[in-house]
Structure formats: C-alpha cells, structure tokens
Amino acid sequence: MNRFFQRVYGTVAVMVYAIAATCSFSACSDNDDAPPPPPPYAESRTVMVYMVAENSLASNAASDIREMLEGMNNDSLYAGDKLVIYLDDMDMPRIYVIDKTTKKSALSDLEPDMMYDEVNSSSSTQLATFIDYAKTHCHADSYGLVLWSHASGWLPSSYGGDQNRGEYSRRKTFGVDNGRNTSSNQGHQMNIDDMADALADVLNGETLDFLFFDACSMQNIEVAYELRKITKYLIASPAEIPALGANYKTMTKAMFRKDDYVERMLSAYDMEYRDSYGLVISAVNTSELKDFTAYMKEVVWAHKSEMLALNTSSMLNYLHYGEWRNDLPDFLDMQSIMLNVLSEDEFAEWKTEADKVFSCKHAGRWYSIYKRRNEIDDAQCCGVSMFIPFNKYASKSFNADYYKTSWAKAVWLMSE
C-alpha cells in the first residue's frame, strides 16, 4: 500500500468509524469506560539506539541525544513510534524512552526508565539485554537499530593482546567500553560474530528493518554477510566518519519513515557533510546477498591470483595499511577491486549484480584524520569495502582471522 492510498484509506476509515460510533452511542451511552477506538492506520516503529560512549566520544553523546529530541518533534510520526536509547558514558548505563509527546530539549532534562550497575556495554550479552528490554517495553510493528561508538569493521578485537602488552588498543571492532568512566579508548570491544549470534537469539526470527552503524569503517562485505539474517538493510560507512556522527535532527525523522527510510537515511547523512568534511555512506540490501555471494565465489576463484597481486597505490582505499602502526589492513572498495581485475564485459556484469545489493552516496571525498587526499573516483566506488588476504600481512594475524569469517568461508574457501 503506497502512501497515497494509506492517506485515502485512513480518511475513509475515520468517516466509517464516526458513523458507526454515532449509531452505537445511544445504545451504550451508559458505558463511560469504553476504550477509545484505535487509529485507522497505526503502523508503529521502535528505533533502538545503543550508544557505547565510555570512551573519547562521551561528550558527543549528549549533543546527539539533543538532536534526537528535536528530530522526534515530527508531525509525521505515528503515536506508537518510540526512540529507545541506551547510553553508557561517564555515568552509569541507563535507558531513555522518548516519543513525539516528549517535551524535553536536552539529555539532562530526561529521566531514565532503567539504570544499570556498571556493566561492559561492549558485551554482546548487554546489547541483547537492551534489545529485549526495548522489545518488551516498546513493542512495535517494526524495529530499527542504531549502533553508535568507535569501530573498525570485521576485524576481531585486539584488546586482550594490547592490554597484555600495555599498548593502546588500535582495533575497535565495535564499541569501546574502558570500564573506568574516562575518555580512554583502551577497552573492551564486541566481535561481529558475537554480535550476530546475540541479535539472532534475542530477535528470535524477527528481522530489523535496518541496522545503522554510526561508527567508522563498518560497511564491509564481511560485516554485511555476518549480519545478513539480522536486518533487511545494513547502513554504514566503509571509511572514517567525523566524531560528530549523524545529525539526528534529520536522521531521526528519516529513521521513522515507513517506506523510503533507506534513501532518506542515506541522504540525511550525506547532506550533513557534503559541503564540509565529506563522507561515504551506503546501504546493503541483505535479501540479495545469497545470490550475490554465490556469484562472487565464481568471480573470486576465477581471478584470485590477480586479486592477490593487486597494486593498491591507485585504488580506492579507505584505510591504508601502514596507518595506525600497521594494526589495520587496507580497506579497499569492492568496486575498485573489480575494476582492476575484471575485463570490461566482466565488470559490466559485476556492476549489474552489485547494483541489486548496494546503494551509495558520497561527496567526492571522505573525512580522515590523516594528512592525505581522500578523493573518490566514482567509477571505483560502491561504498562497500572488501578484504584481500595479501602476502604483505604475513607478520599480522589479518589473514588467519579473515579465513574464520563467514564471508571468507563462503567465497574464498573452495571446501565451503
């Protein structure tokens, strides 16, 4: 049912109900406790926001929640629409529930619905606990999830090894909880396979309308494949993003759209940084991933030697190996890889298949803390990165870790 017919249906339903209510009122006028009728069209959505901010992003959390409060002041929201926010910053972890009737303008004005003792918010168990709370207390017709923190894609957590060596933890798979209520970015992180398992358990067969990572480097094909059964759309950036993150005044309104929310969310993020820092933001349609994965296995096995021999110097690379003390590998755009290994006809076929899965917006550049040019050649960009197990990573665990991912098992390993 498109939005025009929703409006027509709603108008007719109200008229019919009004006539019926008038006819029945005289017969039941003594029943003053009769509940009000349901609205004629009341599809609701609960958007769950999980903010792991016990790190250097703590000060950004309050400003983002202020934007969310402004964004919820939206006449197009349905009465049942709710925003459920889990926040772990320099204070105790807590949950806030807001809707279109909430007349507050700042985090400090809000009263939490739930307070926790000090917990590890980068634990997949704690994430599942929050999802269960939101679904129980704010049940809706559909759900979206925002995961807000530091991150570094599909790579497994390095915290244990770095902690033992007394070094700064460079990998931030998802979330950093330092456990000390400070701005330190050395802390626990959440592995993506653990996240996927925990979400699958708590959702119990339901699928999110969207999962949006407001975090760096999370739009990898490896992450999308791991979360393919969790969400209809994965929305994220394959590159670094500014610490300010999304402008939730516009993003919140986009997240509650019932039909075109993906396009609206991409546009909301893109427009915020198009004329300033620059950004790459994309969406993966997970319903297309099964066929695309089978297709990519054929492509990889036909061109594996060319991929392993790639010279990355002129490719679209969101995070160059050698930055962050070699603790993170290259984050190559998948389309850039294909452009460099496929023939013209093969690439045209690949692009047709990829366009079924990926949609992307970018400003022609992306934000980075590094002092280098971050310009985007549109011909090389689909907005989704893909790992290549290069020999240059021999001294690192990248390749061994990669072959443990579901994507690598499905595409790179012939036995699967």
- pLDDT mean values, one per 10 residues, the chain (416 residues): 38 40 36 47 87 96 97 88 97 96 94 95 96 97 97 80 44 87 91 96 97 97 98 97 95 95 97 93 98 98 97 93 82 98 98 98 90 84 98 91 95 76
Residues sharing a CB contact under 8 Å with residue 287, sequence separation 6 or more, in sequence order: 232
What pLDDT sits at residue 415? Answer: 57
Task: Report the candidate in 134, 117, 107 with the shortest Cα–Cα distance to residue 50.
Answer: 134
pTM beyond 0.75, yes or no: yes
List of long-range contacts for 407-416, beta carbons under 8 Å, 24+ apart: 407/154, 407/221, 407/222, 407/225, 407/226, 407/293, 408/222, 410/225, 410/293, 410/297, 411/293, 411/296, 411/297, 411/300, 412/300, 412/304, 414/301
The domains of the chain are located at 1-41, 45-286, 290-411
Which has the closest alpha carbon to 155: 399, 416, 414, 357? 399
Orientation of helix 248-255 relative to helix 261-273, angle to 10°: 170
Residue 371: predicted pLDDT: 62
* pLDDT for residue 90: 95
pLDDT value of position 372 = 66
Please, are residues 55 and 150 in contact by the beta-carbon 8 Å criterion? yes
Quick one: fold of 45-286? Rossmann fold (3.40.50)
Query: What is the pLDDT at residue 192?
Result: 96
CA distance 149 to 122: 10
Percent helix, strand, coil in the chain, to 5, is 40, 15, 45
94 membership: H or E segment, kind and range: strand 94-99
